[in-house]
Chain A
Amino acid sequence: MAKSPEEEHPHKAFGWAAKDTSGILSPFHFSRRDNGVEDVTIKILYCGVCHSDLHAAKNEWGFSRYPMVPGHEIVGLVTKTGSNVMKFKVDDRVGVGVMVNSCKSCEYCHQDLENYCPQMIFTYNAQNHDGTKTYGGYSNTIVVDQHFVVRIPDSMPSDGCAPLLCAGITVYSPMKYYGMTEPGKHLGIVGLGGLGHVAVKIGKAFGLKVTVISSSSRKEREALDRLGADSFLVSNDPAKMKAAFGTMDYIIDTVSAVHALAPFLSLLKTNGKLVTLGLPEKPLELPIFPLVLGRKLVGGSDVGGMKETQEMLDFCAKHNIAADVEVIQMDQINTAMERLAKSDVRYRFVIDVANSLAQSQL
């Protein structure tokens, strides 16, 4: 008979889990494995609430397994290290993102592209090599192979750094891969949420001209005055959109709802690149003429490898980039999820795990 989540591993753990497709989270007792020779045990301080956590909690993509402890934007302190671990020591401040393991032997792993390894294991809602389920960062502790742990630079705040572990690498990786790093070039960012606002900050740090493209003018002042975007384009305003046709070298599209690509393709210059990062439930419509007539492309990107994740954190530390966060208590998570569904957050909720999770047991 399969062991219960509390018994399957030697060390007790506590977190909040979704139990069914309602996505509602509640207290959950489970367990973590022994700290192996390659492992690091982490006392979790903060965990960001990524929109993917919401999609997964509600099984919107169709592959959720319950109970599910979400959370893949984890910052914490090392409490134990395995005998092969040289990079970290107890009390180091570290982070864990979207992956906790990969095969380490394929061509992708060898190129520091663990994110594209066919055997890559997600931080939650995936299966470990031993057949047990992975549980994420809405919990008090996690045990992770050192290869999948990054150091948090000293100058970074723990709460503002947590979202970088998914949102940050998700925008940084394609910006590097698709060459969006040439100062003076023009980057459009569609959607000003968790991903979008970090993309604005990183884009400005690369010396790009940044235009935020949004369906409402509500976020204009924020975008220009506080985030430092150079301009703001309302996508529902046909005249303004037309005036911007053929002006952008790249576009990062962070919108996860189903939406039209055609207007954004028109904003691109010849040889322009649109990178789509949101994960809509249904296919999008792709017009081909603009691609052929302008040699434009639409690309996807999925987080980034571990080496690049560390590079991204170091880059953000150097440029004083952290996410804009609203810190919440663990027991406020369901309300936060409802607000997230309505995009009512500037721009990431971060759970103060260390100070509120234990209390939520009572």
Chain B
Amino acid sequence: MAAKSHEEEHHNKAFGWAARDQSGVLSPFQFSRRSTGEKDVRFKVLFCGICHSDLHMAKNEWGMSTYPLVPGHEIVGQVTEVGSKVERFKVGDKVGVGCLVGSCHSCDSCSSNLENYCPDMILTYSAKYHDGTITYGGYSDIMVADEHFVVRIPDNLPLDAAAPLLCAGITVYSPLRFFDLDKPGMHVGVVGLGGLGHVAVKFAKAMGVKVTVISTSPGKKQEALDHLGADSFLVSRDEDGMQAAVGTMDGIIDTVSATHPISPLIGLLKTRGKLVLVGAPVKPLELSVFPLIMGGKIVGGSGIGGMKETQEMIDFAARNNITADIEVISMDYVNTAMERLLKGDVKYRFVIDIGNTLKI
């Protein structure tokens, strides 16, 4: 007997846009979502951020994509139904879902609120769910997710600008806290001024940290200083500027996912400073060991964050009026947006107005 079609796999019809192959081009896609289980929260999707990962995955650049692939893991919306055992949400609540929709709930990572490091964690899209079906992301009209993986969006945050926090936000918030780069008076560098970088600047400033943006584009200087509130701006190709900044930073959050030299960044760190990579270059980078040893320095990585911390991050953003800088687009603009994203032509996140523009 043939496997069920995407439309018949689950109980309730759903509609979205999916990539069908490695071209990464998205087009309308009819599929289905499961019924609302006893621990599930069902919500109408209003907005979904476009993360650069969506582009990598749509084109199978990491070799782990399953087609048809409905991207989207910066999802916000309004609750339409909750399961009988759901305690934290009710119909009408404004909620969000990020990069994860499942984990094992029993390993050391899950027990420490680090579902993102669970070996069996389930990604919001293109991953295998507990019932064996493939997960579909937020470029769609409806989401159903286990309550554990849903966060509340406080009323004072505009939904469209809050959406990117669900991936970009937690991705930079988590390492600022974990690596202790959040103490007033510290000096932190942020490499790359894109979706991740611009949110990192805002969070770090709200934590009382002095921020230097490090970028290859001199053109972003005024933005960084005047609009985002960075304290200074370094062009990474400016040898004199880089030399003057040697040994001045407690830490650096490096958001760049292309291959790039990290030795100059390690040089910017103070003794025992920390370079934390949150972008994921596919090829290994060159590590000069002498400076690492002579300065007792660290190179680390961090990937998103657990659910407890994601809620904490959203609440921190709400208290400090932090949202992403976005360009709202209609669903049918998504392929053009992907092309522009590839060239870094966005300030600083596209957000799809699903509620108003996703139409069958």
Contacts and interface: CB of A to CB of B under 8 A. Distances in A.
Contacts of B303: 292-293, 295
Interface in B283-305: 284-303
B300 A297 contact: yes
Interface in A37-66: 61
| Contact-size category for B | 35 or more
B296 A177 contact: yes
A119 interface: no
Main secondary structure, interface of B, reads mixed
B281 interface: yes
A297 B271 contact: no
Given A116-B272, A283-B286, A286-B287, A300 B302 contact: no
B296 A299 contact: yes
A116 B289 contact: no
A291 B277 contact: yes
A113 interface: yes
A302 B293 contact: yes
A86 B75 CA distance: 68
A276 B282 CA distance: 23
A287 B62 CA distance: 15
A308 to B, nearest CB: 12
Contacts of A293: 117, 301, 303
A294 interface: yes
Contacts of A280: 289
A94 B254 CA distance: 46
Contacts of A279: 289-290, 293
Contacts of A261: 287
A239 interface: no
Contacts of B119: 246
A298 B271 contact: no
A61 B293 CA distance: 14
Contacts of A277: 293
Given A270-B117, A271-B117, A283-B289, A291 B300 contact: yes
Contacts of A300: 289, 291-298
A276 B293 contact: yes
A276 B296 contact: no
A284 interface: yes
B114 A270 contact: yes
B22 interface: no
A36 B272 CA distance: 34
B287 A298 contact: yes
Interface string A50-87: 00000000000100000000000000000000000000
Nearest to A260: B284
Interface in A100-120: 108, 113, 116
Given A116-B272, A283-B289, A288-B284, A294 B117 contact: yes
Contact of B292 (A262, A270, A299): A299
Residue with the highest number of chain B CB atoms closer than 10 Å, among A262, A285, A291: A291
Main secondary structure, interface of A, reads mixed
A301 interface: yes
Nearest to B286: A283
A196 interface: no
Contacts of A262: 284
Contacts of B287: 261, 283-286, 298
Interface residues of A, number: 35
B25 interface: no
Nearest to A108: B271
Nearest to B282: A289
A298 B286 CA distance: 13
B114 to A, nearest CB: 7
A278 interface: yes
B42 to A, nearest CB: 30
A301 B293 contact: yes
Residue with the highest number of chain B CB atoms closer than 10 Å, among A261, A284, A295: A295
A280 B296 CA distance: 16
B277 A292 contact: yes
A302 B293 CA distance: 5
Nearest to B281: A288
B341 interface: no
A133 interface: no
Contacts of B295: 116, 300, 302
Interface string A225-241: 00000000000000000
A291 B178 CA distance: 14
A237 to B, nearest CB: 23
B278 interface: yes
A295 B282 contact: no
A296 interface: yes
Contacts of B178: 295
Interface in A249-288: 261-262, 270-271, 276-280, 283-288
B286 A295 contact: no
B262 to A, nearest CB: 8
A276 B288 CA distance: 11
Given A300-B292, A302-B293, A292 B301 contact: yes
A261 B285 CA distance: 11
A286 B296 contact: no
B117 A116 contact: no
Given A285-B284, A288-B284, A291-B277, A116 B290 contact: no
18 contacts: A61-B290, A116-B271, A116-B272, A246-B119, A261-B287, A270-B109, A277-B293, A283-B287, A285-B285, A285-B286, A286-B285, A291-B301, A296-B301, A297-B299, A300-B289, A300-B294, A302-B295, A302-B296
Interface of B: 108-109, 114, 117, 119, 178, 262-263, 271-272, 274, 277-278, 280-282, 284-303
Interface of A: 61, 108, 113, 116, 177, 246, 261-262, 270-271, 276-280, 283-302
8 closest cross-chain pairs (CB), A and B = A291-B301, A300-B292, A297-B300, A300-B293, A292-B301, A286-B287, A285-B284, A299-B298
Given A276-B292, A276-B293, A288-B284, 7 more contacts: A61-B290, A116-B272, A177-B296, A283-B288, A284-B289, A291-B277, A295-B303
